[in-house]
Amino acid sequence: MTLEAWIILSILIVAVILFITEWLRVDVVALGVVVALMLTGSLSTAEALAGFSNSAVLTIAALFIVGGAVLQTGLAGMIGRRILQVAGNGELRLTFVLMTAVALMSSFMSDTGTVAVLLPAVVILARGAKIAPSRLLIPLAFGSLLGGASTLIGTPPNIIVSDLLRENGLTPFSFFSYTPMGAVLIVLGIGYMALLGRRLLPDRRVQIDAQSFKSPEELVDLYRLPDNLYRLRVRRASDLIGKSLAAAGLRREFNITVLDILRREEPRPVLQLVWGRQRDAERPLPPRTSITPEPDTLIELDDVLLVQGETEAITQMAAKWNLGVRPARDDDEANSLLNDEVGVAEVLIPPRSRLIGKTLIESRFGTTYRLTVLGLTGPSAKEKLDIKSTPLRFGDILLVQGPWKNIADLRKQQRDFVVMGQPESMIAAPYRQKAAIALVILLGMVAVLVADLLPIATASLLAALLMVLTGCLTMDDAYRAIDWKSIVLVAGMLPMSTALEKVGLVDLAAQGLVDSLGQIDALAVLAGLFLLTSLFTQVLSNTATTVVVAPIALAAAHNLGIAPHAFLMAVALAASMAFATPVASPVNTLVMGAGDYRFGDYIKVGVPLILIGLLASVLLLPLLFPF
């Protein structure tokens, strides 16, 4: 190999190590790959940045927006609930209905979004049927992964391999090219789970009962939050005026949490402010508006702080800062703790969390995540811990309070947090009246793609634009719906594929595969590609795996002198076989806490399903896509 090839191979190896160890975020690693390729001169600036204008990247971003609109309008929830109404109470029937429903839904929207929508309902169904959720949640996750493999828009690897075919002047996969093989895998997956997989699933009924998920209202009662709420008015002589909440250090000094700030829209009249009940100032007071507390929020004269803390600490703080103290009103709990904008949720610290060993102050939790921690409980639900000084451990549970959108953002930090129970308020549909419009746009996009009237990038961008223009979600919501980490990952790794091809490493890997397995036949090469992809996708993201392996599959087919469609379809399907580890896919991580699963549970249940997928692909892909 040339020196340039060794340099690129070294960059790839370092990237893979960082992906596996998660020492850095995957998007940071992908950006590092782009910079390294430019600094070493392996690619020109234009070549290294080409991934950010790639049609596959833009298509994936647009589909995130379409999926976000489906969630924001409540369309996904409505479809899911209708399907689950026929689920019944038997475990076998529940498994069949759940896997079928989630596979159908994830064919047209994000598998992570699908599982997030159905998860609360499945936990409730399990309780009603007196079945441990651990018997149902791995089938739910696996069904969503199988469903994503069945259409062009179901998962990013499908888009990537189709785009690779188009870029090389070959006929790309159409919308339903994946469906015959995907449908077979779905049927086999459901059959496997019904006959064998159920016997391998754990039954952790006791553990799940011990950490049963509670609604936000139940959490408020459980933590006795209404008993600890007070109103503090900022008087004219208070030294708090003009200070930020961070500078005031109320949590640090008094262990007091500011939940809400009530501020008048216009200044209170001076006479009224000084004398309170004087007859000359009996006109109605200006109304107050609610301000979400942030570390940099400045406190103003006559602000009313709704705070939570012990009575003695409240008294001490009021004396120090010259504040008026009153009990909280009856409606403060509803208005400030729980409403359409803010709420409470329990968050579990998983075993690989970067917060383990740090206190909440050391981790700058409030500043980083814009949420307030109201309580900290150890793994045994009775162990109450000090919020300020206790280093976090695996299994600790945080009670967090703040905007629902900030709580929902914690879902994206799968390594650091598991949001327990997926409170229904978090996935409330603010644009429910637009559900019918979202359905029409979604069906229209699918019809356009099926009829091949527009390229997938054009159709998906048009659908995303229509979702915004018709009010199915705002532009800000659209930006939030995009998983930017995934976008940067794909855009950053596509230039690596270009670099590998440029220095001949793709041809070298493909030739090695052909020399070792091609002596048997093309089926052996197809099996080798499937196994290689499925192995990598257990520790890397399926998109990063596809970006690296798909060009090798294309080159191997070229070396064998056969059509590449079967090989590339095998890579796309294998990239969805993310069954053997909890970190192989976000949906696996999402159900891990709710099902109280162990790492070994995924290996035990997932590996046989991967082998079934391998066997089915080797037997059927040559028939569907002849060599």
113 domain-assigned: yes
Distance between CA 182 and CA 147 in Å, rounded? Answer: 7
Distance between CA 143 and CA 147 in Å, rounded? Answer: 6
The average pLDDT across 60-67 equals 85
Domain that residue 151 falls in: 73-212+430-435+467-480
Are 200 and 225 found together in one domain?
A: no
Bridge partners, 626 (sequence order): none
pLDDT at 268: 58
pLDDT digits (tens, 9 = 90+) for 407-448: 877 876 767 887 775 554 455 566 778 889 998 998 898 889
The average pLDDT across 42-56 equals 88
CA dihedral sign of residues 395, 294, 264, 430: negative
Are 309 and 416 found together in one domain?
A: no
pLDDT at 278: 45
* Close Cβ partners of 544 (under 8 Å, ≥ 6 residues apart): 19, 26, 30, 489, 490, 493
66 domain-assigned: no
The average pLDDT across 283-304 equals 79
Distance between CA 315 and CA 299 in Å, rounded? Answer: 19
Are 94 and 207 found together in one domain?
A: yes
230 domain-assigned: yes
The average pLDDT across 521-534 equals 91
Confidence of residue 273 (pLDDT cuts 50, 70, 90): very low
The average pLDDT across 499-503 equals 83
Distance between CA 170 and CA 168 in Å, rounded? Answer: 6
Are 280 and 154 found together in one domain?
A: no
The average pLDDT across 49-73 equals 84
Position 312 pLDDT exceeds 80: yes
511 domain-assigned: no
Are 223 and 208 found together in one domain?
A: no
606 domain-assigned: no
Are 259 and 193 found together in one domain?
A: no
CA distances 583 to 172, 547, 612, Å, are: 30, 19, 21
Confidence of residue 480 (pLDDT cuts 50, 70, 90): confident
Position 211 pLDDT exceeds 60: no
Are 197 and 262 found together in one domain?
A: no
89 domain-assigned: yes
Position 507 pLDDT exceeds 60: yes
Are 99 and 139 found together in one domain?
A: yes
Confidence of residue 382 (pLDDT cuts 50, 70, 90): low
Distance between CA 555 and CA 504 in Å, rounded? Answer: 10
Are 166 and 224 found together in one domain?
A: no
Contact 597, 604 (CB under 8 A): no
Higher pLDDT, 190 or 338: 190
Lowest model confidence (mean pLDDT) among 5-14, 157-166, 509-518: 509-518
Q: What is the CATH number of the domain that holds 249?
A: 3.30.70.1450
The average pLDDT across 265-286 equals 52
Number of Cβ within 10 Å of residue 137's Cβ equals: 29
Q: Tell me what the pLDDT averaged over the chain comes to.
A: 82
Contact 440, 144 (CB under 8 A): no
Total domains in the chain come to 3
pLDDT at 526: 94
Are 185 and 255 found together in one domain?
A: no
pLDDT at 284: 58
Higher pLDDT, 16 or 164: 164
CA distances 343 to 271, 401, 490, Å, are: 37, 6, 34
14 domain-assigned: no
Number of Cβ within 10 Å of residue 577's Cβ equals: 31
The average pLDDT across 15-35 equals 84
pLDDT at 470: 94
Lowest model confidence (mean pLDDT) among 234-243, 271-280, 360-369, 397-406: 271-280
Distance between CA 141 and CA 95 in Å, rounded? Answer: 11
Are 411 and 352 found together in one domain?
A: yes
Are 86 and 112 found together in one domain?
A: yes
pLDDT at 177: 93
pLDDT at 341: 66
The average pLDDT across 217-225 equals 60
